[in-house]
Amino acid sequence: MRKNLVLDKLKKGKPSLGTWIEIGHPEVPEILGNFGLDWFVIDMEHSVHSVERAQVLMQAMATSATLPFVRVPWNDIVMIKRVLDIGAYGVMIPMVNTKEEAVKAVRACRYPQKGGLRGTGPRRANNYGFDNEYFSKVDDELLVAVQIETETAIENLEDILSVDGIDVAFVGPWDLSMSLGVFQQFDHPKLRKALDTVLDRTKTAGVAPGVFSSIDKMNEYIATGFLFNALASDTELLIYGYREALKKIRGWEPIPSAPAVPMLKE
């Protein structure tokens, strides 16, 4: 098992940069792996990826040093176990709203030797049995991120972050802004206050704050102290790249039936 250099960065207070993998073709992470990003999150919550597809995407990442993380569909011990067994170096658990849910997430990621509930049967994670050091290393090298996406999570944040084993508290601004009643108003005082709360509470707890960001707001988030930072997604980067390229083409108009370019997510 490789050393988790992302954890090293976060512990030193250095920003870490990655992106979401939503497109299911292995050439996408294989190509993006050439840019030197710290990590990719393979999104199983809102994308179509199965466990089998997630493994294929991880295998495509083997040519780069970028680490594979997975956002599981839910705080479910069976799904967490399966993505860890195929080689994820980190797990992101959505909609963690209480201390009890945080405890459940951490225990699903840890083996009993560290107080967890994870079953002992890794496949690709320990190179099919050829990595004899896996069991002694994994509990120290695995990154556990919980998503803070609701007003309830903000209210319970201090209790959530008191759970030992959480490395990242990751904000989803779309879900959080909706929960706060200010959907897509990413500069609204209510959302900004919630983000400040995340920054303050994570600093006190020694947990890295993270955020999903558009290209335009990434520098702002880094400047305010966010460390585990998702630079949009492969889908959005594709849209952004083509949009910026087409702006430079003179004398061309899109076909009449073409939809308007969507706003990129924060």
Q: How many CB atoms lie within 10 A of CB 178?
A: 15
For the cut 60, the answer to whether the pLDDT of residue 265 exceeds it is: no
Q: Does the residue 263 lie in any domain?
A: no
Q: Does the residue 104 lie in any domain?
A: yes
Confidence of residue 83 (pLDDT cuts 50, 70, 90): very high
The number of distinct structural domains making up the chain is 1
Share of the chain above pLDDT 70, in %: 98
For the cut 70, the answer to whether the pLDDT of residue 261 exceeds it is: no
Q: Does the residue 254 lie in any domain?
A: no
Q: pLDDT value at position 256? A: 85
In the predicted model, what is the mean pLDDT of residues 155-173? 98
Structure confidence by residue, pLDDT tens digits, 194-241? 999 999 999 999 999 999 999 999 999 999 999 999 999 999 999 999
Q: Does the residue 197 lie in any domain?
A: yes
Active-site hit among 25, 46, 49, 188: 46
In the predicted model, what is the mean pLDDT of residues 156-180? 98
Q: Does the residue 99 lie in any domain?
A: yes
Share of the chain above pLDDT 90, in %: 93
In the predicted model, what is the mean pLDDT of residues 19-32? 98
Give the integer Cα–Cα distance in Å for 73 and 28: 21
What CATH number should be reported for the domain holding residue 19? 3.20.20.60
Q: pLDDT value at position 144? A: 98
Q: Does the residue 94 lie in any domain?
A: yes
- Average pLDDT, rounded, for the chain: 95
Give the integer Cα–Cα distance in Å for 255 and 142: 48
Q: Does the residue 101 lie in any domain?
A: yes
Q: pLDDT value at position 260? A: 73
Which contiguous run of DSSP H or E holds residue 97?
Answer: none
Domain that holds residue 182: 5-247
Let me know how many helices (H) and strands (E) the chain has, helices first: 12, 8
CA distances from 49 to 33, 38, 53, 213 (A): 19, 21, 6, 22
Q: pLDDT value at position 96? A: 98
Q: pLDDT value at position 266? A: 47
In the predicted model, what is the mean pLDDT of residues 140-165? 98
- Catalytic status, residue 46: yes
Q: Does the residue 264 lie in any domain?
A: no
Q: Distance between terminal CA atoms of the chain? A: 33
